[in-house]
């Protein structure tokens, strides 16, 4: 059983059909850590933290969000996959902005539902998240 297969997809943000992209599929063989290892061999990476302060993105090894940047003849493609106890959903985006929005929506969902530790001052809806919660976590240089 393989966690990755090549498929034709439609980008969520632009509605383009893209052929032969690495799509993550359901993985019920082992656990999330094994899934993480398997997908990394195909260019995917699990995103551990999100937002300005690096809050949890998921609840390892049960819930994870992974991403990939690849390209076709038109330009960049950004893939996001959600893993929940072996059930996997993969989506692709043409723009980095829409990719980040999708990840932010996942982060909000898990923070709001107590499935991951997040900020204390969450708004009522993901669309209302402040910009500082809608970005990849970047480790600051030590002073």
Specify the pLDDT at position 83. 98
Whether residue 110 lies inside any domain: the answer is yes
CA 75 to chain centre: 20
Whether residue 93 lies inside any domain: the answer is yes
Q: Which helix (H) or strand (E) holds 90?
A: strand 87-93
Whether residue 143 lies inside any domain: the answer is no
Whether residue 141 lies inside any domain: the answer is no
CA-wise closest residue to 76 among 101, 93, 91: 93
Whether residue 138 lies inside any domain: the answer is no
CA gap 6, 111 in Å, rounded = 32
- What number of CA atoms fall less than 13 Å from residue 74's CA on the CB side? 11
Quick one: 11 exposed, middle or buried, by C-beta within 10 A (0-12, 13-18, 19+)? Answer: buried
Domain range holding 26? 4-133
Report DSSP state, residue 131.
Answer: G
CA gap 42, 36 in Å, rounded = 10
Question: Domain tally for the chain?
Answer: 1
Low-confidence ranges of the chain (pLDDT < 50): none
* pTM of the predicted protein model: 0.93
Whether residue 140 lies inside any domain: the answer is no
Q: Which distant-in-sequence residues (6+ apart) come within 8 Å of 75 by Cβ?
A: 94
């Amino acid at each position: 059983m393989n966690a990755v297969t090549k498929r034709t997809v439609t980008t969520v943000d632009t509605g383009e059909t893209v052929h032969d992209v690495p799509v993550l599929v359901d993985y019920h063989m082992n656990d999330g850590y094994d899934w993480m290892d398997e997908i990394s061999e195909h260019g995917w990476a699990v995103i551990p933290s999100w937002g300005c302060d690096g809050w949890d993105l998921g609840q390892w090894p049960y819930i994870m969000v992974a991403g990939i940047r690849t390209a076709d003849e038109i330009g960049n493609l950004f893939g996001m996959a959600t893993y929940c106890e072996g059930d996997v959903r993969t989506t692709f985006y043409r723009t980095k902005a829409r990719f980040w929005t999708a990840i932010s929506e996942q982060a909000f969902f898990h923070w709001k539902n107590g499935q991951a530790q997040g900020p204390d001052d969450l708004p009522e809806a993901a669309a209302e998240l402040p910009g500082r919660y809608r970005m990849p976590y970047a480790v600051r240089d030590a002073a």
